[in-house]
Amino acid sequence: MGEPAPLPQPTKVCRTCNRELPATRDYFGDNVGYRKPDGGRYLRGQCRRCCSRLGKERDSRARDVAREVKAAAGPAKWVPRVVGGDGPEGGFTEHPDDGYRFVCVPDSHGYLIDEEAASAALAFVRYYRPVRIFMLGDHVDFAAISRFDKPPSDIDRIGEDVAACVKLLKAVRESAPGARITYLKGNHEARFARFLWKHQEVAALFKAEGMDLPHLLKLGEVNIEWEESGSIMVTPALMVKHGHMVRARAGYTATGELERNGISGISGHTHRLGQIYKRNRTGMMTWVESGCLCKYDPDYMDGQLSDWAQGLSFGTVSLKGRGFTVHTAPIIKGRVKTLAGDIGE
Ligand SMILES: [Zn+2]
Ligand SMILES: [Zn+2]
């Protein structure tokens, strides 16, 4: 009897390089994702050489994206402070009456900003000298990352979109160097988070790089606070928010918000300008829809007439009690129309 013929060694073909190799751990390694019914491991589908080459390629791609993110957004320099509902503390500066003035800057929508309306709003800020400014949200449009169908040209314009927001914030800061400025997150800013949910590898990278939307918008450079919740209690009787509700006509949303919240407030979001008052046994309440600073005819309106109104809202908050005033002012042909006359460049 001779020696028994050696058993043929089982082999396995690498799915990436197609080499036929011995089906052993030395050549393939464990597939950590799945277990055999008996608890053992399967071999990987590709050989060790391919695994490590692909891993290196992935790492270098990740480094490229990291570089792009950094180049686009600048290094993280500033940790945004999330503001609580702490009223006027920190916002008060010397003022001729016993309160402080504030201005609300409504929806400008990034690259859809109407420069003439925005510069009128800035002229109003310089005239009124508020100690608090509320950026009401939707100061980027983020059409490029929205869930709606969009032309490729909108995607190309995402850089312009963010740049327009950064430029506006800088101009607001220059118009009110000493003011406490708070940026309330709107639904268009929220598109960014939703985009990251869908692209978790980019989200992980942003996290690793200490990047987030307030950094992307360079809020640290102009010392603007970020309000993630999109709403702030200015006093126990007055809130400011971006808002989500949209009803058909100017004032209808204001009515809905007042009914829902049960206190006075100011919102943006509808691009309509209106103010309503309501009295009950607790006293007089008001709600303001603050208009917009964006163009009246963005492409997605498709030639329809929007019933929006460019404008802003402003007022005073007493430091003695719950008292406040709120007003609206339309912007017509680059002039803010108020009781004091029309203000503009
Ligand atoms: Zn909005
Ligand atoms: Zn808006």
187 Cα–ligand 2 center, Å: 8
245 Cα–ligand 1 center, Å: 9
Compute the distance between CA of residue 272 and CA of residue 137 in angstroms, rounded to an integer: 14
Strands 324-332 and 311-318 turn out to be: antiparallel
How many residues does this entry show for the chain?
345
User: Which of 1-17 are b and which e, b meaning 16 or more Cβ less than 10 Å from the residue's Cβ?
Assistant: eeeeeeeeeeebebeee
198 Cα–ligand 2 center, Å: 23
Domains contained in the chain, CATH given: 11-68 (no CATH), 84-344 (3.60.21.10)
Q: What is the pTM of this model?
A: 0.74
Looking at the CA of 245, which ligand is closest?
1
155 secondary structure, DSSP code: H
54 Cα–ligand 1 center, Å: 43
Compute the distance between CA of residue 216 and CA of residue 195 in angstroms, rounded to an integer: 14
202 Cα–ligand 1 center, Å: 25
User: Which of 234-260 are b and which e, b meaning 16 or more Cβ less than 10 Å from the residue's Cβ?
Assistant: bbebbbbbbbeeeeeebbbbbbbbbee
Compute the distance between CA of residue 162 and CA of residue 188 in angstroms, rounded to an integer: 12
Q: What is the DSSP string of 67-135?
A: HHHHHHH------PPBP-S-TTTTT----SSSEEEEEEE----GGGB-HHHHHHHHHHHHHH--SEEEE
Compute the distance between CA of residue 42 and CA of residue 29 in angstroms, rounded to an integer: 9
pLDDT tens over the chain, length 345 residues: 567 777 778 899 999 999 999 999 999 988 877 788 888 888 988 999 998 998 898 888 777 766 765 665 444 444 444 443 333 333 343 444 457 889 999 999 999 999 999 999 999 999 888 888 999 999 999 998 888 878 888 888 899 999 999 999 999 999 998 888 999 999 999 999 888 888 888 889 888 888 899 999 999 999 999 999 999 998 888 999 999 999 999 999 999 999 999 999 999 999 999 999 999 888 889 999 999 999 998 777 777 888 999 999 999 887 766 678 899 999 999 999 987 667 777
Cβ neighbour number for residue 70 with a 10 Å cutoff: 14
Asked if 265 and 257 touch (Cβ cutoff 8 Å), the reply is yes
User: What's the confidence (pLDDT) of residue 68?
Assistant: 67
Compute the distance between CA of residue 3 and CA of residue 21 in angstroms, rounded to an integer: 26
74 Cα–ligand 2 center, Å: 27
45 Cα–ligand 1 center, Å: 49
107 Cα–ligand 2 center, Å: 5
Asked if 144 and 161 touch (Cβ cutoff 8 Å), the reply is yes
Interacting residues of 316 by C-beta distance below 8 A, sequence separation 6+: 97, 99, 100, 101, 102, 324, 325
Residue 276 pairs with which residues in a beta bridge?
287
Compute the distance between CA of residue 36 and CA of residue 219 in angstroms, rounded to an integer: 53
Q: What is the DSSP string of 163-206?
A: HHHHHHHHHHHHHSTT-EEEEE--HHHHHHHHHHHH-HHHHHHH
Compute the distance between CA of residue 72 and CA of residue 192 in angstroms, rounded to an integer: 15
269 Cα–ligand 2 center, Å: 4
User: What's the confidence (pLDDT) of residue 83?
Assistant: 42
Asked if 46 and 17 touch (Cβ cutoff 8 Å), the reply is yes
Compute the distance between CA of residue 238 and CA of residue 114 in angstroms, rounded to an integer: 29
User: What's the confidence (pLDDT) of residue 96?
Assistant: 40
